[in-house]
Structure 1
Amino acid sequence: MKHRFLVALVLLVSVSLLTACGVGKKKEEEAAPVTLTVYSQLANYSGEMSGWFAQELLERFNVKAIIVPDVDGVYETRMESGNLGDIVLWGSDGDEYLGAVEAGLLFDWNEDNLLHEYGPYVKEYMPHALAKNKEISGGTLYGFGHNVAYSSEDHEAFFYTWDLRWDLYKRLGYPAVKDLDDYLQLMIDMKEIEPVDEAGNPTYAISLWPDWDGDMVMYVKAFATAYYGYDELGIGLHNPENGEFYGALDEDGPYLEALRFFNALYRHDLLDPDSMTNTFDKAMEKVKNGGTFFSIFNFAGSDGYNTVDHQNEGKMMLTMTPEEATPIVYGMNVKGSNRIWSIGAKTQYPELAMEIINWLATPEGRMTSEYGPKGVTWDYDENGKSYFTELGRLMRYDKDVAFPEETGYSGKFSDGEFEWNNTTWSIDAINPESGEPFNWRFWESNQEEAKSAIEADWREFTGARSSDEYLNNREYKVALGTSYSTGSRSYELRVKWEQVTKAIKDYSWRAIYSESEARFNAQVRLMQRDVRSYGYDACLEWALQEAARRKALEDEVRSAN
């Protein structure tokens, strides 16, 4: 690489000229931290990282990281400037990623043996993921997708866990919940017995946030995925079992049915009225205070609510699905998924960027990014098995626990979390150093008796010892791991797509906040009319072609098995 040659030349000349004093000054300059810009389409955080993970980067690589999230206009601005950043993390491998490839704004990982010299772990253990990226990127290697697995023999842990305030469910006498109508009634009954949270604020069934809205309203399409088992694909949902596709505007389709459910929550005063303006962090504060009754995601439910204090008080969020729900679960995939790790073409530090990505792909890097510093929050026992330290266990259940001064780290765990929001290995991949999944829920050290009376009650009622055991014993759909990646769209279609998806989201939020069922139906009709006028049919045709391509790849996997 040219800059390395120039640096070497400068150093060669400098050695012959510098005095001892000058050499000392040179060493001081070399010790100054390097600042890297991480442009992450997945991040919720903006600015320089702080806390324990920032300290890890500083001590391991002498690096400070500035995170640039993908708020409105950022992608376009950075594309126009020709500089995406040093490390570039993509929300998908679709149009925006392919646009950067076409514009030459990503660094070729094979240039000057970058991957071979600075990414040896990635090169050795992620060959299929690297091959997939090279294939979708026109024959040049620019990175790899997230959630890579060492083997494709099993499915991941359940992502949609249907966390519910089990203590309230118990107080109500464990009522039967067959479908969404029963679930709505359960939320109504919970509000009657617990109308305010620990801060004295009104309780709700759920608190949403719009930060993560993509082609549709995130929580609406995710709820359809959690209930019906259909996976998001463009402007609709794909049935991974038979390949059927359901457009966002389909009458009685899964998206509109999920939208109807959230409007019913709103009309019964069960939806946080701040949902349309919430940030993720604000919504999680309400979860921590007991302000919500359920979450389809464990990271937005039990992970935030199930503190040691709550468990000691006999309160927990635990898994319970409606009887008719068939939540999706994702197959393990050695080729990885669609959220790409890459390096910007204009970086002055490609080697350093690659070294960091490579470390994050090592077992220690993956564990550290998830659970904190090794030896402080987690470690391996004499048998090589993973375990939490006492501090690490406290932090797992309450991320606002602070690091004691003697650990050498400062601030709360939450202050220093890995805010890039991408993963190298799937959390459910096997950690080769321990022989167990990276996922703490499956460590031998955590297969223990119930930690509280309320958890013991859940285990007795469900006959399961964990969320995954419960869900594995019920109906679900598996999205097979394939080489599928989102296809490109023409410029004309991209223009229509932007108008169509914006209208779907805008009208969806208006429908959610409708004061009556009649008003809801009117908003849906307006959405269907206006979205079609913007080019919905052309977008739908593209989505149907993508669904057919995905089904063909899924059929290949099935026939191979």
Structure 2
Amino acid sequence: MNLKKKIVTGLLGVSLIASLAACGSEKKESKTDKDELLTVDVYDGLANYMGIQKGWFADIVKKKFNIELNIIAPNVAGNGDTLYQTRTAAGDLGDLIIVDNGKQYNELVQGGLLYDSTDLYQKMDNLKKYDAAVQHLNDGSEGIYGFPTSVSSLSPTTPSEGLELNYGAYIRWDLYGKENYPEMNSVEDLLPVLKKMQEANPTTESGKKVYAFSLFSDWDGNMMNMAKQLGTLYGYDELGFVLAKADGSDYQSIIDSDSQYVRALKFYYEANQMGLVDPESTTQNYDTMYSKYQDGQVLFSWWPWLGQAAYNTTTNLAKGEGFMLAPIKDQTIFSYGAEVYGGKQFIGIGTKAKDPERLAEFVDWLYSPEGALANTSQTQGSAGIEGLTWEMNKEGQPELTEFGKEALLGGDATVPKEYGGGSYKDGVSALNVNTVLGIDNNPDNGYPYNYTMWETYQKENTDPLKQDWTKQMDGAETTLDYLEASKQIEVAPGASYVAPEDNSEISVLRNQIKSTIIEYSWKMSFAKDEKEFNKLLKEMQDTAKGLGYEQVFEVDMANAKDQNEQRISVAKEFAE
């Protein structure tokens, strides 16, 4: 079926889904009077907070549904795999479940841990607007067991991230300017520039030593996560042990000597030799690293939602200080296209949930304009609650309130008691998942959910830092403007591709190999000299190959090419 027709069908109804037979989970009578406070265990693979949701988001959920959310976060708990296996073995992962599509979805459906929401879906009017995505996620299942996240009504070739992409080379622009904006032809040219910036500003106001790079290992998976980031500046993203170009023009083995990944390890090695890498990088976690950005101890960030979020406070911006995208002449930054079939995670209701109907009402609300604005993560420019953080002005345009400016731009604010009180920052939704893409338009007013895309915000968001950046970047008002004008963006069409589950043999091999790659990657980044770096590189390559790397790489390469075929297909389908 043509994609546009699917979307129209979704807007009209769910006749196809309605005909699906319910199976795989026992139906139960729901307690829907809402008189009793319902504590909901939310197993959330994206959450960075463990415990009862608090603050203003908790307040709105309690008032609307008489629900409190108890977040179970494998990211916080420690050994996330063990927690997942333990809870699934017990037959109860959670009342609400937010995990990955593909393998985890299949495991949970087959294991009977997801409630068949086919009947409940008929009343989920907000979600039915994205029926094509719901059908796509549950394709092959005899029921509806999950709801897609990051759904969108935009073209799959539209950058999904908003005015700032997910990746980029972000530097302390104010300090870069003091060095007279040196020209940088490639990412390697960053190093001497950052060295000059460090030498001119060796310590923070608090007396802490300044470094160009501060790393962490929390997110290491098939490889060292912070080494993978360099490839994104040149249009590559990871799939297993493959780095795949967004346009399908190139595929690389991460352990090849000329790969973007090994290039990144050499980059860190050179940076460390120059004294630019924080020596605590090998032992610290994300939170510790983040606090260093807040204190001004770090000069470079691979992501806007790290450097800018931590340091670009109202106070610093007023002084002309902060992170902005660096002009690197040969970059073509990877961008995720809007995924019309949803993102990499889904939301499901657990079979042991006491009140599936009330949970379905809550989930459906998350896809409403009010819910999307309240829940959307800060990285998506969440505007929060109408009347508190934003309002419609006399001209009929959305704009931030004074409280909203303090809370969202100033870093934090104290929430009025009628909205739950406490710190605004502490009350942000701990779900950490986007239901509707932030750049999609709110059907209630026709403007994006993401407040940074509002005209009112852009007119008011003028500060010495942005003005200087715009002056140096050919008059570009935003990062997206600059990258599009300079043809330095590579959009991977949003195909909602999920790699098939590894068989048991490949899974065992992958786990052994990735441990080796990660171990050697960190050693290479901190090698004492070039001879040791090259020795470690060869050992990594030989050890990985000896463990069956080529066998796993063959699987990943096939998946990467399948992913590209789906990207081509969805882009063509939408264009038609």
Please give the TM-score of this superposition, normalised by the length of structure 2.
0.87
> Structure 1, residues 124-163: CA drift from partner, whole Å, max 9, x if none?
x11121011112x545322233221112163223222432
Letter in 1 for 2:225: M
Please point out which of 185, 190, 211 is paired with 1:183.
Answer: 190
Shift of 1:396: 1.6
2:459 corresponds to: 448
**2:94 matched residue in structure 1:** 85
CA distance in 1 between partners of 2:396 and 2:355 (Å): 35
Match of 2:336 among 324, 330, 333: 330
Q: Which amino acid aligns with 1:155?
A: P
Do 1:167 and 1:314's aligned partners in 2 also have CA atoms closer than 8 Å? Answer: yes
| Displacement after TM superposition at 1:262 (Å) | 2.0
- Measured in 1, the distance between the counterparts of 2:396 and 2:366 equals 20
Segment of structure 1 superposing worse, 198-207 or 263-272: 263-272
* 1:278 to 2:291 alignment: no
Alignment check: 8 A CA contact 1:98 1:488 kept: no
Aligned counterpart in structure 1 of residue 146 of structure 2, from 143, 147, 169: 143
Counterpart in the other structure of 1:506:
519
| Aligned mates of 1:144, 1:516 — CA distance in 2 | 51
Unaligned runs of 5+ in 1: 9-26
8 A contact 1:303–1:397 mirrored in 2:
no
Q: Which amino acid aligns with 1:100?
A: L
**Aligned with 2:138 (options 129, 134, 137):** 134
Aligned-residue offset at 1:375: 1.2
8 Å contact kept, 1:49–1:64: yes
> Which of residues 428, 449, 457 is equivalent to 1:417?
428
> Is 1:472 aligned to residue 484 of structure 2?
yes
> Once superposed, what is the RMSD of the aligned Cα atoms?
2.2
Distance in 2 between the 1:42 and 1:243 partners?
31
Is the 2:392–2:399 Cα contact (8 Å) retained in structure 1? yes
One of 241, 249, 260 as aligned partner of 2:266: 260
| Residue pairs, 1:22-33, within 5 angstroms | 31-33=35-37
> Alignment partner of 1:331: what SS?
strand
Q: Among residues 65, 68, 72, which one is paired with 1:64 in the alignment?
A: 68
The structural deviation recorded for 1:484 is 2.1
The question of 1:391 aligning with 2:400 is answered no
Q: Does the CA contact (< 8 Å) of 2:31 and 2:358 recur in 1?
A: no
- On the 8 A contact 2:370/2:385 being kept in 1, the answer is no
The alpha carbon displacement at 1:300 in A equals 0.1
Q: 1:120 aligns with which of 115, 118, 125?
A: 125
- Residue 492, structure 1, aligned to residue 492, structure 2: no
Inter-CA distance 558–213: structure 2 relative to 1 (3 Å threshold): same
Match of 1:269 in 2: 275
Q: CA deviation at 1:7?
A: 6.2
Distance in structure 2 (CA, Å) of the matches to 1:355 and 1:494: 38
Q: Which whole-Å deviations, capped at 9, do the CAs of 1:427-468 have from their partners, x for residues lacking one?
A: 111222222222222102112166222321111111111121
User: Aligned match of 1:192 in 167, 175, 199?
Assistant: 199
Matches within 5 A, 1:343-354: 343-354=349-360
Does the 8 Å contact 1:146/1:336 carry over to 2?
yes
1:258 Cα offset (Å): 1.4
Distance 2:30 2:286 in 1: 45
| Cα drift, residue 383 of structure 1 | 4.6
CA distance in 1, matches of 2:339, 2:27: 37
What secondary structure is seen at the aligned counterpart in 2 of 1:42? coil
Q: Is contact 1:165–1:316 with CA below 8 Å preserved after alignment?
A: yes
Identity among equivalent pairs (%): 30
Structure 1 SS opposite 2:519: helix
Residue equivalent to 2:374: 368
Partners of 1:320 and 1:195 lie apart in 2 by 21
Q: 1:411–1:228: structure 2 CA closer, same or farther, 3 Å change rule?
A: same
Pairs within 5 Å for 1:152-167? 152=155, 154-156=158-160, 157=162, 158-167=165-174
Name the structure 2 match of 1:14. none
Contact kept in structure 2, 1:215 and 1:235, CA below 8 Å:
yes
What secondary structure sits across from 2:138 in the alignment? helix
TM-score using structure 1 length:
0.90
Unaligned ranges ≥5, structure 2? 1-24, 376-381
Whole-Å separation in 2 of the counterparts to 1:79 and 1:548: 32
The DSSP-based 3-state class of the residue aligned with 1:447 is helix
Which has the higher mean CA deviation after the structures are superposed, 330-339 or 186-195?
Answer: 330-339
TM-aligned CA deviation for residue 405 of structure 1: 4.1
Letter in 2 for 1:84: L
Which shifted more, 153-162 or 414-423?
A: 153-162
| 1:238 and 2:244 aligned | yes
In structure 2, how many angstroms separate the alpha carbons of the residues matched to 1:467 and 1:430? 20
Residues 31 and 7 (structure 1 numbering): CA distance in 2 closer, same or farther, change over 3 Å? Answer: closer
- Cα displacement (A) at 1:212: 2.1
Q: 1:375 to 1:264 in 2, by over 3 A?
A: same
Task: Report if aligned partners of 2:49, 2:71 keep a CA contact under 8 Å in 1.
Answer: yes
Could you tell me how far 1:490 is from its partner in structure 2? 1.1
Asked if 1:207 corresponds to 2:207, the answer is: no
Query: Match for residue 13 of structure 1?
Result: none
Separation in 1, partners of 2:36, 2:141 = 38
Shift of 1:469: 1.0
Deviation at 1:35, TM superposition (A): 1.0
1:161-204 alpha-carbon deviations (Å, 9 max, x no partner): 43221110110011001112211111111101111123211111
Is the CA contact (8 Å cut-off) linking 2:315 and 2:410 kept in structure 1? no
Distance change (3 Å), C-alpha of 1:404 and 1:50: closer
Q: Secondary structure at the match of 1:489?
A: coil
Aligned 8 A contact 1:161 1:467 in 2:
no
- Aligned-partner SS, 1:282: helix
CA contact (8 A) 1:236 1:255 kept: no
2:440 alignment counterpart: 429
Letter in 2 for 1:199: S
Q: 1:2: Cα distance to partner?
A: 6.7
- Structure 2 distance, partners of 1:253, 1:319, is 24
